[in-house]
Chains A and B, each alone.
Chain A
Amino acid sequence: VVRRPWRRPEAAMAGPARPLLRRALAAAPPSTRQLREAEEAAPVFQYAGKAARRKDRVFVWGFSFSGALGVPSFVRPDAGWKNPRRVQTTPYRLETEGKISSAACGYGFTLLASNTRDITKVWGMGLNKDSQLGFQRSRRDQTKGYEYVLEPSPIPLPLEKPQQTRVLQVSCGRAHSLVLTDSEGVFTMGNNSYGQCGRKVVEDEIYSESHLIHQLKEFDSRVVQVVCGQDHSLFRTKKGTVYACGWGADGQTGLGHYNITSVPTKLHGDIAGVNIVQVSSCGDCCLAVSDEGDVFGWGNSEYLQLASVTESTQVNVPRHLPFKIGKIKEAACGGTGNIVLTEEGNVFVWGYGILGKGPNLIETAEPEMIPASLFGQSDFSPDTRVARVRCGLSQFAALTNKGELFVWGKNLRGCLGTGRMEDQYFPWRVTVPGEVVDVACGVDHMVSMVRSFI
């Protein structure tokens, strides 16, 4: 057995070769016995052994000019004749230095985090005008920082025990980012004009080229999930309580008022005493799911997101949304539309915009189900179910248990990854060369974590 590295064969093999027109003076064609012996004597090549492990990869697509995709040649081509690529409409493989366990897309920037104990745990790329990627020292001028980071660059976190702490999750908002660690609380960086970083608002603070990374530790128990809305932050603790800080003019902090909050404060309302297992927010509306399958919402309701309980357009206290669609497993909140996944594997959407049921459904206050046949369920594969749902600002993404990614919504600057620039009115498969494990949606780009097939 001869070991060989895997390489796709260069030329596609055509049919049997045409016989030569010249009269062949060679020996007679080999007999069957000779052919069989030659076959048995041929060497056997091994491309993958029995213990071959599946590789983890990262694929990115969407608007690339801000550097958010992490491929410098899209913005500054490496050859003179190449043109810069503004939009990457199909998934493009991004080479990363380690296995990426968590990714988040903000407004023109991306954060990638790895679960490792090495010194470098978080990489960032894209817009850095508010230091949402920390301080990226410029190589040309050591005193200045980069405003646009074109490839994944390590973010220096002020950890006490950098070789023991692990980064669990990252989240990005409009101009700020949150990094969740397992033993050192939450690190926040970026714009703090509304207190979204959890520290006191300093008047006339200059956020660009700032070295300040704030650490938040005062919660009633360990924080297990961090979520960034547009200009506010939500923290979910192990005990099931939710804390919020940041801008509250739409009531998205859920604290009962419409003012700015600069210190993470506990939420009450309908979620007081309820064990919340998941929180989600992307724009100005927030959703929370409890362990019993109930969903609670607060924040902006101008697009009928919370119209099932109230007529007002801003809700500043968490309200229970009485939907009779079954126990809810996961919820995702977008800019104008919301999506939930029930225990049975059904997907429900409501709100405003391209919701996924054709161009006729523009807005609805009550959840509408998207038929499972659109996600690949058929007589041939009856056990295909949607496993995860994610929301960008005006797009939706759904992952099935077979590892397929379906997207729909407004195709802003090619963020859907379908290869076309048109909006998609019903779930459409994205062709990714691998099994999609997780996807992070931003405003105009998406990042997916993929495992190879073999």
Chain B
Amino acid sequence: LNALPGRAPRQRIRFLPAPGGGGAVGLVPTRVPVLADHPLVRGPRFRKLKIGAGHRLDVKASGVFVLGIGHGNKLLTDLYNCHLTKVYTVGGLFGKATDDFSDTGKLIEKTTFDHITREKLERILAVVQGANQKALLLYSNIDMKTQEAYELAVKGLIRPMGKSPPIITAVRCLQFALPEFQLEIHCLHETQQYLRKMVHEIGLELKSSAVCTQVRRIRDGVFTVDDALPRTQWNLQSIQEAIQNCQLKVETELEKTLG
């Protein structure tokens, strides 16, 4: 950033003694750059950058991670208050139960899983979704007896706008090949460990056990995997382009939700 051409120094009109030999002592107005703006006096323009992080992503998970730079930190706070859903792809493995619900933990128990079919899994997912829908309505702090609550419920716009325990708004099974399976989970206020625990609970409901092999965030509010920069593109040019592309999306979303 410091290597980029900076602002041109300010110019000032000073009355300097005229060049030339002795004799006439005339002052000639000349335009001279201000010494205070000289790069050697001023120093590098950027010494520190304020970078803030959006929703947390723990060590074993991967995916979209939103960072804000400078003014973006304020936008991050606003986006947090919008309470938008995040989308994860969660990979699981039947047959094992570990203490930290992932496949790298200490083994607790091994179980059979040949009785599990995709239909049974989808039944359990429907129940999970139903229970979480109720939680969504309960924590949204809207009085259920008003017509307004009915209208919002019809449109599906009720969501908690304050603190709430983790809520899963939608789940569906993307792939199912025993013993592995993959789910797409839309959730609010969650942690990745909660998603791993959810995989473990699904295993328990199916009278077997399951561990989580992969947690990958594919969407965080308005930012999707397409907007995110992979490791190879962590340079200034791509970052600037990405910020510009997302600006419009972020503004419209903030206006729509916070008014």
B-contacting residues of A (Cβ < 8 Å)?
1, 6, 8-9, 13, 15-17, 38-39, 42-50, 52, 357-360, 371, 373-374, 376, 378, 380-381, 402-404, 422-426, 428-429, 431, 435, 453-454
Q: Which of A8, A17, A454 has the most C-beta atoms of chain B within 10 angstroms of its own C-beta?
A: A454
Is B112 in contact with chain A by the CB < 8 A criterion? yes
Is B107 in contact with chain A by the CB < 8 A criterion? yes
* Set A42, A404, A422: member contacting B126, Cβ < 8 A: A404
A357→B205 CA distance, assembly (Å): 35
A45→B110 CA distance, assembly (Å): 6
Q: How far is the CB of A375 from chain B (nearest CB, A)?
A: 11
Q: How many residues of B contact A (CB 8 A)?
A: 46
Stretch of B6-14, B34-42, B148-156, B223-231 at the chain-chain interface: B148-156
Q: How far is the CB of B133 from chain A (nearest CB, A)?
A: 6
Instruction: Judge whether A431 and B145 touch: CB under 8 Å.
Output: no
* Set A16, A44, A404, A426: member contacting B150, Cβ < 8 A: A426
Hey, what's the 0/1 contact readout for B121-143 against A, CB within 8 Å counting as 1?
A: 00110110111011001000000
Residue of A nearest to B112 (CB): A46
Q: Which of B158-202 contact A (CB under 8 A)?
A: 170-172, 193, 200
Query: For B208, what are the chain A residues with a Cβ–Cβ distance below 8 Å?
Result: 47-48
* Set A374, A381, A422, A431: member contacting B154, Cβ < 8 A: A374
Instruction: Judge whether A431 and B112 touch: CB under 8 Å.
Output: no
Is B207 in contact with chain A by the CB < 8 A criterion? yes
Given contacts A15-B100, A435-B123, A359 and B111 within 8 Å (CB-CB): no
A111→B206 CA distance, assembly (Å): 33
* Set B99, B115, B153, B200: member contacting A374, Cβ < 8 A: B153
Instruction: Judge whether A45 and B145 touch: CB under 8 Å.
Output: no
Q: Which of B124, B153, B208 has the most C-beta atoms of chain A within 10 angstroms of its own C-beta?
A: B153
Instruction: Judge whether B144 and A6 touch: CB under 8 Å.
Output: no
6 contacts across the A-B interface (CB closer than 8 A): A48-B208, A52-B115, A402-B123, A423-B145, A425-B150, A426-B149
Q: How far is the CB of A96 from chain B (nearest CB, A)?
A: 22
Instruction: Judge whether B144 and A424 touch: CB under 8 Å.
Output: yes
Query: For A453, what are the chain B residues with a Cβ–Cβ distance below 8 Å?
Result: 120, 123-124, 127, 205-206
A381→B120 CA distance, assembly (Å): 16
Q: Which of A17, A45, A357 has the most C-beta atoms of chain B within 10 angstroms of its own C-beta?
A: A45
Is B248 in contact with chain A by the CB < 8 A criterion? no
Top 10 nearest A-B pairs by Cβ distance?
Answer: A358-B150, A48-B207, A358-B147, A47-B207, A46-B112, A380-B170, A44-B110, A360-B147, A426-B150, A50-B115
Query: For A426, what are the chain B residues with a Cβ–Cβ distance below 8 Å?
Result: 144, 149-150, 153-154
Instruction: Judge whether B99 and A13 touch: CB under 8 Å.
Output: yes
Instruction: Judge whether A50 and B111 touch: CB under 8 Å.
Output: no
Residue of A nearest to B201 (CB): A12
Instruction: Judge whether A8 and B207 touch: CB under 8 Å.
Output: no
Query: For A429, what are the chain B residues with a Cβ–Cβ distance below 8 Å?
Result: 130-131, 133-134
Query: For B114, what are the chain A residues with a Cβ–Cβ distance below 8 Å?
Result: 50
Instruction: Judge whether A42 and B99 touch: CB under 8 Å.
Output: no
Query: For B133, what are the chain A residues with a Cβ–Cβ distance below 8 Å?
Result: 376, 429
Query: For B146, what are the chain A residues with a Cβ–Cβ distance below 8 Å?
Result: 358-359
A48→B209 CA distance, assembly (Å): 11
A291→B68 CA distance, assembly (Å): 64
Instruction: Judge whether B145 and A359 touch: CB under 8 Å.
Output: yes
A131→B245 CA distance, assembly (Å): 77
Q: Which of B200-224 contact A (CB under 8 A)?
A: 200, 204-208
Residue of B nearest to A44 (CB): B110
A50→B206 CA distance, assembly (Å): 12
A423→B193 CA distance, assembly (Å): 37
A66→B73 CA distance, assembly (Å): 62
Instruction: Judge whether B170 and A454 touch: CB under 8 Å.
Output: no
Query: For B123, what are the chain A residues with a Cβ–Cβ distance below 8 Å?
Result: 402-403, 435, 453
Is B59 in contact with chain A by the CB < 8 A criterion? no
Q: Which of B100, B114, B126, B208 has the most C-beta atoms of chain A within 10 angstroms of its own C-beta?
A: B126
Given contacts A13-B200, A423-B145, A373 and B156 within 8 Å (CB-CB): yes
